[in-house]
Structure 1
Amino acid sequence: MIAPSILSADFARLAEATESVRGADWLHVDVMDGHFVPNLTIGLPVVEALLATTDIPLDCHLMIDDPDRWAVGYAEAGAYNVTVHVEAAEDPVRIAKDLRSAGAKAGLSVKPDTPLEPYVELLGHYDTLLVMSVEPGFGGQEFIPDVLDKVRLARDHELKVLIEIDGGINLDTIEQAAEAGVDCFVAGSAVYGADDPAKAVERLRARAAREEPRES
C-alpha cells in the first residue's frame, strides 16, 4: 500500500494534489499543532474539506498534544484511519475504542527513539502501527534504518496490525522497509516531487513488491 503525504504537496492546491495521486491506497494527512512537534500544518477544517473532494481514504496522522480530546473528531468527520502518538496519549486504550466506535481504524505511532516493546500489549486494541522513520515534524528528512527493528519486533510478536512507515521513503529505501515487513508506505517528496505523482506511486508500489528493477 502507498499513502502519499500531502505535507509535500502545494497547500494552495490540495484538491489538485489529491486528484494527481488517484490510484493511491490512502492519502496521508499530517496534522501538527506546533506543540507536540515544532511545526504547524493543518487541522480538522482542512481534513473535512479534503473529505469532500476525494474518495481516497484519508489516513490522518495526529502529531498533537491531547489526542484524547481531539482524535475522535477526525473519525467522526469521516477519516478512514486516525493515528495518535503513544508519547502524547494519556489513555491510548480509550482512544482506540473511541476511534473505532466513531467508525475509523485506530492507529498508534512511535517516534524513532521510542521503544516498541513496552507498548506491544497496547497494539491488541489498534488496527495500525505507524513506525516513524524520521523525527516527526518536517518532511524531506533522511530515512533512519534502525527503526526497522521495531517492524521486525511487531512481526515476531505476530501482531494483527497493519504496519505503516513514515519518513524518508523513496525508491532506494522502500525495499528494505518492505523486506522488514512493512505493509503501507508513506511517501511525500518521492511522490509530490515527481513530474507525475501518479506514476511515482505506481513505481513505489512496484519496487516494494520487487517488481521493478533498480536502475543501473
Structure 2
Amino acid sequence: MWSQKCVIANNIGEEVKLYKTWSTPFGLRVVWALKLKGIDYESIDEDLSNKSDLLLHYNPVYKKVPVLVHNGNPISESTVILEYIDDTWKQNPLLPEDPVERARQRFWAKFNEEKLLPTIWAIFTTEGKDLEEAMAAWMENLKFVEEELKGKKLFGGEKLGVADLVFGWLANLIGIFEEVSGLKIVDERYPLLLTWMQVFSELPVIKETWPPHDKMITKYQALYEKYHPAK
C-alpha cells in the first residue's frame, strides 16, 4: 500500500498563496502537490463570477485560476505550477530523475489536457450525433490510457507523480458526471484505469481533499441542465 512520508514544511519565512475555486480540478492538482511537498500555504477561493482585483492582477492574460503566488511572484496554469513546485521544493519529487520517464509523465499530462478533457466536456454538453462522436473518441482515448497502465499501480509505477495528479480529476468527476448524466463513461472494458481510480482516490493526501460530493452534484446538475434544457 502506498503511503505518504511525513514531510516537515521547510518554507518558513516564504509566502505561498494559492488562488483557486472550491470545485476546480485544476486547483486540486496544486493542492495535492503542495501537500505532498509539505508546503504551508494560504488558500484563497475565488468567485469566478466576480473575480478579485488580485486574481486579475496576477493572471492578466487568462484571468483564470489556479494561480500560485510565491514570494509575490505569480505562476499560472496548473501543469506549469506543478513543475514549478517540483523545481522549487526538492523533497518528495513529483517527476522522476530519468529523462525518459520525465518525458513520459509530461506526455501523459499533455494527453490529458488535449485529448481527455475536451472529449469529456463534449460528452457532458452535447446530444445526438455529437454525443455519439464524443463517446467514440473518449473510448478510443481510454484504450491508450489502459495500455499505459499495464503492469503499474500508478502512472509512475509505485510512486505518485505529475501524471497521476493531472489525471486525478477522473477519480472524482467521472462518478459525478455519470450520476448527473445517466451515462456510463468508464466501464469494465478499462479494468486498469478503474483500479487506478480506486487506488488514487484512497491515498490519504487525496482522500482528505475531495470537495463535498453533494455540492458537486448540485453544481454539475445545474450545468448539465444548462446544456440539456427540458424539452
Indicate the structure with greater strand content: 1
Indicate the structure with greater helix content: 2
